[in-house]
Structure 1
Amino acid sequence: MSATEKSKLSYADCGVDIDAGNAFVGRIKQAVNSTMRPEVLSGLGGFGGLFKPDFKGMQEPVLVSGTDGVGTKLLLLQEYDLPHVAGIDAVAMCVNDLAALGADPLFFLDYLATGKLAGETLAGVVEGIADACRTCECALVGGETAEMPGMYAPGHYDIGGFCVGVVDRPKMVDGSKISAGDVIVGVASNGPHSNGFSMVRKLLELGDADLNSDTLSDGRKAIEGVLSPTRLYVPAVNALMKSDTEIHGFSHITGGGMFDNFERLLSEDLAVTIDVSSWPVPPAFEYLLSFADVERDERYRTFNMGIGFAVILPESEAGKAEAVLNAAGETTFRIGSVHKRSGEPVTLIG
């Protein structure tokens, strides 16, 4: 080839299809628009999402932000073709953290990255995001879909979520009121949610498991329990915040399980005791933990083991809180108590 003869090259030749990207945006517009709140001023496709907040009725509004991903659960969701679950998980892991401060989510953004744009799959992710946002009355104001050939294996994608919420400072639940004598009301999880999946994947490998053909003790397919979407606790927490229940602390039981997610709330002179016999271990965990010998504390530090969220409050308020949570569709258990610290910050019994 002479110096004047050059190969013709387009962006599509490099593995990036701008037309497909535009078609993808068109596909997801309906899902995104279904999440809109009155405060949203911009539609999909702008350089930024515009949100004009209305904080009338709040004494001292405080913005609360959070970001998270789905972790290595994504590998299984991709293997079993469950993009909708990935979308729900991305929202849930962010908004549940905000709920742990008593905050109401306002808007959400996502970041989707893949090697080659598979419109049907990634649209499923965004539709899952939109469904979760509608459940939480949270607007999906924008996002980024990055097509990066060579960065990801075929069929693989990654997702990050970003959320902003608001809480009235006098009502904010930050754990500062937790005191000896408080009780802990646990709220049931949907399964492993999006935590501990490096161990989940190892357990499945050791057990030569097949989530589509294996059956749980409750008769469901294993895939329904192990890869169920993370539960969205926002509606229940909002109901609790609007009630006159006195709340001292919330805990989202994520990475670190029963240990880290309670310890982070406690002052140095307080501890909690959790009675692990006070709630049933879901069949998904029975199934997974049948494949290897995992010590008890390791189980409760890696997984939520059936409790995805917790409320810490005076014993006199516990019944009221349980009634509100149950009316919101949650299953609750009285799982522990707060006391003066004389040893470890978190102790398991039962």
Structure 2
Amino acid sequence: MSDSSRKHSSKHYRQAGVDIDAGEALVAKIKPLCAQTNRKGVMSHIGGYAGLFDLAASNYKAAVMLTATDGVGTKLKLAQTMHKHDTIGIDLVAMCVNDILAQGGEPMVFLDYLACGKLEVDDMYTVVKGIAQGCKDANTTLIGGETAEMPGCYPQGEYDLAGFSVGLAERDHLLPKDNINVGDIVIGLASSGLHSNGYSVINKLIAESRIKLDAPLADSTLGELLLQPTTIYVRTLLPLIKQRLIAALAHITGGGISSNLPRVLPEYRCAHIDKHCWQRPVIFDWLQEQCDLPDEEMLSVYNCGIGMILITESQHQAAVMQHLEHARLSAWQIGTIESCRDKHPYVEYC
């Protein structure tokens, strides 16, 4: 296509609400960000039709592929309300790679999908910069993605995000193991805050009660604490998986501890959890007070300060805790695995 024909076509497309030049400008800006996330095995660059990755470079002997996709829920609405786009991309990566990790996998590549009504290059660059940061934190490659400008589908200033992750695991490293036994130790790993779940309640509360997001809370503001990015546990926990010190991992997302921990337990097993033995971030105290939520509901909706749960044999507890301390990740023994008469696993609190 000649330059004059392209300009003519671009003009009519722009009049329909799609700015091709803005899209190309965004791609040019994010290419260096993506390149910074490259790991061994990447065979392609941003701009091709597909991302290429050489599996042989991963040095896995009996590799199993793991896939995960997720979004950030209505936390995205809060970020847009605050015009703060720099951390929501970290949340997007975290929600996917932590799921890969929970099955014993190492996230290798990540792709994002970004949809908006009007492409604001600077804002979307900031979002992708956060995605790239999350990928670096997880040691995974931002290998591609899609930005869709869809006039009429989204109001001005609003956009949506989805993420996709592909990982690998040795077959004998997959989690959960089938030998989770009575007496195994349940260890809770600290969350950074609310992570990316339960924000529909929070957005409703803010709108109905006209709560100011710049109100001081602890050593920060309410808005800053609400947007604290989700912790990525990959680099910390992968060594323990490879050393076979972990029997199961539960990523504590929507449904809280009450729904997510039973997902990794075998039949006729339950988890006895002491809900008073870890330090809960102040944002949960604020939320519980504002909404007058009982402990039971808090534990069935929010992570309540525990973003990932690790189950290990008692003989490995000291080594696991020493590793977590060295990684500067706060962790607590929060319970044990017990037998139960009910076939279906559950959590019992004390």
Structure 1 residue 176: Cα displacement? 1.9
CA contact (8 A) 1:276 1:348 kept: no
2:176 to 174, 177, 181: 174
Residue equivalent to 1:164: 166
Give the whole-Å Cα distance in 2 for the aligned partners of 1:166 and 1:55.
12
AA in 2 matched with 1:279: W
What do residues 282-332 of structure 1 show as CA deviations (whole Å, max 9, x unaligned)?
101111222121121111111000000011011221121111122122110
Residue equivalent to 1:22: 24
Give the whole-Å Cα distance in 2 for the aligned partners of 1:177 and 1:117.
51
What do residues 8-49 of structure 1 show as CA deviations (whole Å, max 9, x unaligned)?
970100000001110110111111111112311111111111
CA RMSD of aligned residues (A): 1.7
Structure 1 residue 175: Cα displacement? 3.7
Task: List structure 1 runs of 4+ shifted beyond 6 angstroms.
Answer: none
Task: Report the more deviating stretch, 219-228 or 200-209.
Answer: 200-209
AA in 1 matched with 2:83: D
CA contact (8 A) 1:102 1:237 kept: no
1:316 aligns with 2:329: no
Structure 1 residue 208: Cα displacement? 2.8
Residue equivalent to 2:43: 41
Give the whole-Å Cα distance in 2 for the aligned partners of 1:297 and 1:189.
19
Task: Report the more deviating stretch, 306-315 or 286-295.
Answer: 286-295
Name the SS of the counterpart of 2:216 in structure 1: coil
1:125 aligns with 2:124: no
Give the whole-Å Cα distance in 2 for the aligned partners of 1:173 and 1:55.
23
AA in 2 matched with 1:227: L
Structure 1 residue 245: Cα displacement? 5.2
AA in 2 matched with 1:215: P
CA contact (8 A) 1:240 1:325 kept: no
AA in 1 matched with 2:216: T
CA contact (8 A) 1:181 1:337 kept: yes
Q: How does 1:1-350 map to 2 (within 5 A)?
A: 10-54=12-56, 57-212=59-214, 214-216=215-217, 218-242=218-242, 244=243, 246-342=245-341, 345-350=345-350
Ranges in structure 2 where 5+ consecutive residues have no aligned partner: 1-9
CA contact (8 A) 2:262 2:347 kept: no
Q: 1:147 to 1:241 in 2, by over 3 A?
A: same
Give the whole-Å Cα distance in 2 for the aligned partners of 1:175 and 1:225.
35
Name the SS of the counterpart of 2:237 in structure 1: helix
Residue equivalent to 1:3: none
Structure 1 residue 97: Cα displacement? 0.4
Name the SS of the counterpart of 1:84 in structure 2: coil
Aligned residues with identical type, % of pairs: 39
Give the whole-Å Cα distance in 1 for the aligned partners of 2:227 and 2:206.
12
AA in 1 matched with 2:283: A
Higher-helix-fraction structure: 2
Structure 1 residue 239: Cα displacement? 2.8
Q: 1:224 to 1:106 in 2, by over 3 A?
A: same
Name the SS of the counterpart of 2:291 in structure 1: coil
| TM-score (structure 1 length as normaliser) | 0.93
Name the SS of the counterpart of 1:184 in structure 2: strand
CA contact (8 A) 1:32 1:141 kept: yes
Name the SS of the counterpart of 1:180 in structure 2: coil
CA contact (8 A) 2:70 2:164 kept: yes
| Number of residue pairs the alignment of both structures matches | 340
Q: 1:326 to 1:224 in 2, by over 3 A?
A: farther
Structure 1 residue 348: Cα displacement? 4.1
Name the SS of the counterpart of 2:203 in structure 1: helix
Give the whole-Å Cα distance in 2 for the aligned partners of 1:205 and 1:273.
37
CA contact (8 A) 1:175 1:250 kept: no
Task: Report the more deviating stretch, 147-156 or 323-332.
Answer: 323-332
What do residues 76-120 of structure 1 show as CA deviations (whole Å, max 9, x unaligned)?
011112212111011000000011012111000000000000001
| TM-score (structure 2 length as normaliser) | 0.93
Give the whole-Å Cα distance in 2 for the aligned partners of 1:27 and 1:9.
22
CA contact (8 A) 2:40 2:57 kept: no
What do residues 110-165 of structure 1 show as CA deviations (whole Å, max 9, x unaligned)?
00000000001111111001011111111111000000000001100000000001
Residue equivalent to 1:4: none
Ranges in structure 1 where 5+ consecutive residues have no aligned partner: 1-7
